[in-house]
């Protein structure tokens, strides 16, 4: 699987009609990842120059996988994931409360025993220390089977819904991440799941729970579980991410092909209606098979949006952006001005995109046939995401399974309209946009 991930990065963006091929900017020797050395070797630290070098190199896209409906639904992007709506068992893990969406963290278990990051059941483990390492009955860290370091618990980040609009991220993140994967853009993998948590109160987020509640257990469905892209984050401080201003700098300094990749990425974000683009919700990561342990040298950095919850709704300047709101999403077409290819959400840095970027993304988007789009929305349980849409269709006399399909059909139809916008638009050339012609 590591070889597959690295091959995706090396292949880069797929050629458009055999002509347009993404080529990364020259690899500089200063792109490094920070990490702690084992034994008496010193830790590897980075400075802003090293981080900026990784930004310049960071790939946004890879060659899209050729997926049928079954593979797209399974979604094992970066290694073993979870089957759709899998029953996952875990124990509540102490953590700092953050954000505004209902969520908690827990350590995965199987038959009452902790599971490590490699998916191995660890019956000898009785506890987890504050750094995530599994401890035996004597409080000693448990070594990995191969002797290479110590075993860490498989820590899950679980989002759940209480019915409030903000919690619709449980649905939207699953759909958005799966669509970006199909188009060949990096994102964390999100899985719909049923989560049974030992030590969880019924609503851990609202109750501000920060410690396990002995004797308490609760099940959460619908819920979603995140699997990060395996790698080391390149940052000088926690949740540093990257900003749109920094991405604009990379764009301005980049080659024509680099500009096309960035523009196509922005159009893809418009396709799913991403509203927020805050630095701490973005990630700069070096793939875990793309750096040298001896020096920290990274040759496989990637850029992506880590939090895709704020999608399939409407952007507002003041207040909360809507999520999974059909009536808000429906009028928010891909282009605000199709004649000039002015994207609806320019994120304050880009106004229009080029014909080269439009053609690049259209070439990729042809894999999104109607049956695959519907399968993604079904996987993400979009039949439940918007109660108002469901009520409107119910008033037309639709009920039961037919109602579920009608809701999924409405969402699918709107996304297909956006893909048709992408197909029929004709944009100015990149040279014309650069020169103002």
Q: What are the beta bridge partners of residue 91?
A: 107, 198
Q: Please check whether residue 108 is in contact with residue 154, taking contact to mean a CB–CB distance below 8 angstroms.
A: yes
Report the C-alpha gap between 77 and 232 in whole angstroms.
Answer: 17
Q: What is the DSSP letter of 209?
A: -
Q: Which residues contact 4 (CB under 8 A, 6 or more apart)?
A: none
Rounded distance, CA 171 to CA 294, Å? 41
Looking at residue 32, the DSSP 8-state letter turns out to be B
- pLDDT for 22 equals 33
Residue in this structure with the two tokens 């999100």, named with its chain if needed: 190
Cα 82 → chain centroid: 15
- ∠ CA 137-141-142, rounded to 5°: 85
The pTM assigned to this predicted structure is: 0.90
Burial class (CB in 10 A: 0-12, 13-18, 19+), 58: buried
- What pLDDT is recorded for position 1? 45
How many Å apart are CA 212 and CA 199, to the nearest integer?
Answer: 5
d(CA 54, CA 253): 14
Residue spans per domain, the chain: 2-81+171-187+232-435
Asked whether the beta carbons of 361 and 334 are under 8 A apart, the reply is: no
Q: Quick check: 174 and 182 in contact, CB under 8 A?
A: no
Task: Please state whether beta strands 86-92 and 189-198 pair in parallel, antiparallel, or not at all (unpaired).
Answer: parallel
340 and 355 Cβ atoms separated by less than 8 Å: no
pLDDT score, position 340: 86
CB 421 within 8 A of CB 341: no
Q: What is the phi/psi pair of residue 282, to 5°? A: -110, 160
CA distance 204 to 90: 14
Using CA atoms, how far residue 138 sits from 107, 117, 397, in Å, is: 20, 21, 63
Closest of 172, 205, 179, 183 to residue 276, by C-alpha? 172
Q: Is the peptide bond before 222 cis (omega within 30 degrees of 0)?
A: yes
Tally Cβ neighbours within 10 Å of residue 160: 25
Return all residues near 250 (Cβ < 8 A) that are at least 6 apart: 55, 56, 58, 258, 262
Instruction: Give the pLDDT score at 412.
Output: 98
Contact 297, 32 (CB under 8 A): yes
Quote the radius of gyration of the chain (alpha carbons, Å): 22
Cα separation of 166 and 146, whole Å? 44
CA angle, 297 then 266 then 239, to 5°: 45
Q: Bridge-partner residues for 104, per DSSP?
A: 158
Taking a C-beta distance cutoff of 8 angstroms, is the pair 56, 62 a contact? no
Segments in 190-274 forming alpha helices (H): 244-253, 256-271
Phi-psi region of 112 (alpha: psi -120 to 50; beta: other; left: phi over 0): left
Report whether 101 contacts 162 (CB < 8 A): no
| Closest by CA position to 353, among listed 270, 243, 245 | 270
With a cut of 50, list the residues of the chain below it in pLDDT. 1-28
Check residue 351 and give left, alpha or beta (phi > 0: left; psi -120 to 50: alpha): alpha
Q: What is the pLDDT of residue 49?
A: 93
For 327, the enclosing helix (H) or strand (E) is helix 326-329
Residue 26's Cβ-count burial label (10 Å; 0-12, 13-18, 19+) is exposed
The predicted structure's pLDDT at residue 10: 38
> Quick one: angle between helices 256-271 and 355-365, nearest 10?
60
What's the half-sphere exposure (Cβ side, CA atoms, 13 Å) at 40?
0
């Amino acid at each position: 699987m590591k070889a597959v991930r690295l091959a995706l990065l090396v292949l880069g963006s797929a050629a458009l009609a055999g002509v347009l091929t993404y080529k990364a900017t020259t690899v500089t020797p200063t792109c490094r990842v920070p990490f702690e050395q084992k034994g008496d070797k010193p830790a590897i630290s980075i400075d802003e120059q090293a981080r900026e070098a990784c930004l310049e190199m960071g790939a946004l896209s890879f060659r899209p996988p050729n997926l049928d409906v079954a593979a797209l639904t399974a979604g094992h992007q970066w290694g073993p994931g979870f089957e759709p709506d899998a029953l996952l068992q875990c124990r509540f893990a102490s953590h700092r409360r953050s954000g505004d969406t209902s969520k908690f963290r827990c350590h995965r278990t199987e038959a009452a025993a902790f599971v490590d990051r490699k998916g191995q059941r660890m019956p000898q483990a009785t506890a987890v220390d504050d750094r995530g390492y599994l401890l035996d009955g004597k409080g000693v860290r448990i070594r990995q089977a191969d002797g290479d370091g110590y075993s860490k618990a498989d820590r899950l980040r679980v989002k759940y819904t209480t019915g409030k609009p903000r919690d619709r991220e449980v649905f939207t993140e699953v759909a958005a991440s799966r669509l970006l994967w199909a188009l060949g853009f990096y994102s964390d993998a999100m899985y719909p799941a049923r989560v049974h948590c030992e030590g969880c109160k019924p609503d851990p987020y609202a109750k501000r729970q920060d410690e396990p509640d002995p004797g308490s257990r609760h099940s959460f469905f619908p819920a979603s579980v995140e699997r990060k892209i395996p790698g080391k984050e390149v940052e000088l401080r926690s949740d540093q991410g990257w900003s749109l201003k920094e991405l604009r700098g990379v764009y301005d300094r980049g080659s024509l092909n680099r500009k096309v990749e960035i523009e196509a990425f922005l159009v893809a974000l418009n396709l799913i209606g991403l509203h927020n683009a805050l630095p701490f919700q973005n990630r700069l990561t070096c793939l875990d098979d793309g750096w040298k342990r001896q020096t920290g040298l990274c040759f496989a950095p990637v850029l992506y949006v880590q939090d895709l919850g704020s999608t399939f709704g409407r952007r507002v300047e003041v207040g909360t952006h809507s999520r999974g709101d059909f009536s808000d999403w429906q009028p928010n077409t891909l282009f605000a001005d199709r004649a000039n290819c002015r994207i609806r959400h320019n994120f304050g840095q880009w106004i229009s995109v080029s014909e080269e970027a439009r053609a690049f993304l259209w070439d990729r988007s042809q894999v999104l046939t109607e049956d695959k789009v519907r399968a993604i929305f079904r996987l993400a349980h979009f039949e439940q995401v918007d109660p108002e849409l469901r009520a409107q269709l119910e008033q037309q006399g639709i009920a039961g399974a037919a109602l579920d399909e009608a809701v999924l059909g409405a969402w699918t139809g709107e996304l297909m309209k956006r893909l048709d916008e992408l197909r029929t638009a004709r944009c100015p050339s990149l040279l014309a946009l650069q020169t103002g012609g």
